[in-house]
Amino acid sequence: MVEDDFEAARAVAIEDERPLLINFTSYTCVNCRMMEVQVFAQDDVATALAPYVEARLHHDASTADARAVNAKIAETIVQSQTMPLYVAVDPGTGEEIARFCGLAHDPAEFVEFLDGASGRER
């Protein structure tokens, strides 16, 4: 996972030939914290996340520069300010593959999204 540096995450994804997962989050977002603590911690979700390079972009990043860059990515790439928002992106083209908006009440929903976006079958 790369925090608050989209270009670094994209470079790693290109170099490693892995899909890129943009995780739009916020330190103060209750649903974001629930996803990271309750959903991401599930073994099947961790397995489904493994093929990805995650760019965890905080709307309330610690520096003004990071906040501005993250807001620009939200505006131009995914055209949404929703949180949490997970967008699988082809790192080479920057094209969106799939998106998952909001809180997953069942971790299997999130696994299905991740597996489908990465082309992985179980």
Boundaries of every domain in the chain: 2-118
- Identify the band that residue 122 occupies on the pLDDT scale cut at 50, 70 and 90: low
pLDDT of residue 83: 87
pLDDT, one tens digit per residue, over 35-70 is 999 999 999 999 999 999 999 999 999 889 998 988
- pLDDT for 72-99, tens place per residue? 888 887 777 788 999 999 999 988 999 9
pTM (two decimals): 0.90
Q: Are 51 and 97 in contact (CB under 8 A)?
A: no
> Domain 2-118 sits in which CATH superfamily?
Glutaredoxin (3.40.30.10)
Residue 34 has pLDDT above 70, yes or no: yes
